[in-house]
Amino acid sequence: LCLASLQEGTAAGSAERRGCEWLRWLQRELPRRLPCVGAVDEPLAVFHQLQYLQRGCAISAHVDAPTPPADVVATLSLGTGLHDTVRVGSARVRLRPGDLYAIAGPARWEETHEVHPSTSDRLSLTVRFASQSELQNC
């Protein structure tokens, strides 16, 4: 489990927040901010998922599917929720807008994780990173 904050990149009015430009910024920034992404040999963002959860909704405990292939799964909180929490294994983490968490290694492949119900709507972006060299062998 890795944690970081990207609050300056998600602030209203920031240049990075505009569409594809913002996604490219995020793909460059995550390997620098999260050691578990930076440790991937030539990390490539192979999957992006924008997710909206209404207030009170949850995502039950699960282990992510192995496809699309990804060594690291990183999720950035974009929503307005001030009481968003996730659980990865036995670790429970409170998230604010702009906070980021990632799972890799045993936390990615063996531990369950879940999103607890929030007191407000929740918006997040999940990015899966894989090694470019490993993808060539697929």
The whole-number pLDDT of residue 87 equals: 95
3-state secondary structure of 27: helix
State the pLDDT at residue 89: 94
Q: What is the mean pLDDT of the chain?
A: 82
pTM: 0.79
pLDDT at res. 16: 46
Chain segment 43-93, per-residue pLDDT in tens = 888 888 889 889 999 999 999 888 778 889 999 888 766 678 999 999 999
Q: How far is CA 9 from the centre of its chain?
A: 14
pLDDT at 10 over 60: no
What was the pLDDT predicted at 60? Answer: 95
Full DSSP string of 70-121: -SEEEEEE-S--SSEEEEETTEEEEE-TTEEEEEETHHHHTS-EEE---SS-
